[in-house]
């Protein structure tokens, strides 16, 4: 999302005009003290409150500076019925942020020579029943990572109403079933976000290693970094405690607790905390998880059209990683996630020294305008946290 700031130009001009009148009249004017800027911790708290003010039930945010110290802010409630406060170490569903975990393992396997990004899908998944409009001989691992493989998500299950949630929330879908649903759809053209493409990548990891993608992620990423508050939940419909209840806002009078549900894809079924998610992105961007060549390839964006960049809210997609501009200059890297009421945005600077994660336990998905409003407020929090860190630490 492209961060925005409201201009105070009109106010500054009014103050300047008033000062000019007084000077012209020869009046003695005392020096006006400039208001102090909020500290990074104060700004984080203000931004968390601004998100809650939109109607988001609960917000937790954690920013980490170059010295490893954290600033933490919470706002709202973890439970609309009891008023329980938001726990700053509460668990939430990673959802699509786990695509970066999968991409990291794929690039580690490439670095080890166990697969190539230019391998075609048929080499690794010869038994997949491809639809008549899909050619596995021309779809590469790199295209799956970039969302340019043309794999449609149109057939994936999902909840558009509270009733659909009640009816489908315990349904379990295998990776093979999700791919079969995709194969029944028309292929997409150009860049098109594909959850199914990352389901296929999880299946390729299993073929290349003989182990599931979640086992490889645990051994290659989580254990080396000591991330013991990031877990694969598979088809389990609940989260570890503590956690905020998750809500989906379907419209006035239709706010639904959607905490308990089976994620659509077990390949992307991960829960985490703001502490662990910060640590993961910091390690990734600082080069602790990938050799320099693979990290550079991960950060190489596709050439999206202006329309696609608008859909990415100003970002550019690499290999499981999105780059976005900072208002204070430079670029940050991220991959947001949203599922089952939990919406999470994150950001880490180029060198991995400054990072921030904000998790919201309500999705205002009733209108596109509400979704954009929520993402913008969270994007502002990310931008302010990273830019405040830059100002404070250079």
Q: What is the CATH number of the domain that holds 194?
A: 3.40.710.10
User: Within a domain: residue 25?
Assistant: no
Give the confidence band of 19 by pLDDT, cuts at 50, 70, 90: very low
Phi-psi region of 190 (alpha: psi -120 to 50; beta: other; left: phi over 0): left
User: Within a domain: residue 364?
Assistant: yes
- On the CB side of 393, CA atoms within 13 Å amount to 17
User: Within a domain: residue 10?
Assistant: no
User: Within a domain: residue 360?
Assistant: yes
Q: What is the tally of structural domains in the chain?
A: 1
The mean per-residue pLDDT over the stretch 31-39 comes to 68
Yes or no: say if 323 and 299 are a contact pair by the CB < 8 Å rule: yes
CA distance readout (Å), 37 to 74, 82, 117, 256, 346: 21, 36, 47, 39, 23
Q: Which residues contact 160 (CB under 8 A, 6 or more apart)?
A: none
pLDDT tens figures, 144-182: 999 999 999 998 988 888 899 999 999 999 999 999 999
pLDDT, residue 311, reads 67
pLDDT tens figures, 103-128: 999 999 999 999 999 999 999 999 99
CA dihedral (311, 317, 319, 321) in degrees, to 10, reads -90
In angstroms, the CA 296 to CA 291 distance is 9
pLDDT tens figures, 221-244: 999 999 999 999 999 999 999 999
User: Within a domain: residue 184?
Assistant: yes
pLDDT, residue 314, reads 72
pLDDT, residue 41, reads 95
Range of the domain at 302: 37-393
In angstroms, the CA 68 to CA 279 distance is 10
User: Within a domain: residue 30?
Assistant: no
In angstroms, the CA 221 to CA 219 distance is 6
pLDDT tens figures, 135-154: 999 999 999 999 999 999 99
User: Within a domain: residue 237?
Assistant: yes
In angstroms, the CA 117 to CA 127 distance is 20
- On the CB side of 279, CA atoms within 13 Å amount to 15
User: Within a domain: residue 127?
Assistant: yes
């Amino acid at each position: 999302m492209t961060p925005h700031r409201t201009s105070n130009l009109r106010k500054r001009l009014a103050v300047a005009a008033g000062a000019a009148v007084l000077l012209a009249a020869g009046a003695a004017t005392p020096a006006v003290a400039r208001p102090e800027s909020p500290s990074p911790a104060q700004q984080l708290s203000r931004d968390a409150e601004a998100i809650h003010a939109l109607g988001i039930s609960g917000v937790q945010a954690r920013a980490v500076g170059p010295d490893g110290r954290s600033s933490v802010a919470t706002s709202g409630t973890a439970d609309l019925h009891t008023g329980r406060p938001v726990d700053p170490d509460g668990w939430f569903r990673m959802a699509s942020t786990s695509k970066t975990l999968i991409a990291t393992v794929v690039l580690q396997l490439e670095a080890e020579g166990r697969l190539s990004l230019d391998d075609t899908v048929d080499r690794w998944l010869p038994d997949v029943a491809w639809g008549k409009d899909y050619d596995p001989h021309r779809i590469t691992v790199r295209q799956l990572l970039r969302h340019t493989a043309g794999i449609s998500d149109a057939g994936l299950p999902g909840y558009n109403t509270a009733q659909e949630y009640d009816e489908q929330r315990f349904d379990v879908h295998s990776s093979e079933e999700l791919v079969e649903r995709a194969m029944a759809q028309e292929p997409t053209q150009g860049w098109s976000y594909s959850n199914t493409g990352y389901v296929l990548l999880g299946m390729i990891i299993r073929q290349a290693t003989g182990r599931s993608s979640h086992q490889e992620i645990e051994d290659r990423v989580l254990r080396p970094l000591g991330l013991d508050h990031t877990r694969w939940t598979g088809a389990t419909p609940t989260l570890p405690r503590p956690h905020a209840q998750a809500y989906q806002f379907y419209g006035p009078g239709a706010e639904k607790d959607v905490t308990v549900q089976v994620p659509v894809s077990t390949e992307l079924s991960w829960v985490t905390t703001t502490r662990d998610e910060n640590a993961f992105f910091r390690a990734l961007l600082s080069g602790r998880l990938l050799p320099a060549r693979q990290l550079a390839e991960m950060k190489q964006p596709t050439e999206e059209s202006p329309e696609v960049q608008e859909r990415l809210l100003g970002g550019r997609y690499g290999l499981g990683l999105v780059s976005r501009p900072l208002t204070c200059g430079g670029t940050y890297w991220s991959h947001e996630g949203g599922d089952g009421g939990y919406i999470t945005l994150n950001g880490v600077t180029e060198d991995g020294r400054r990072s921030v994660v904000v998790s919201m336990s309500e999705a205002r998905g009733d209108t596109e305008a509400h979704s954009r409003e929520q993402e913008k407020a969270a994007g502002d929090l990310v931008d302010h946290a990273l830019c405040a860190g830059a100002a404070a630490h250079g």
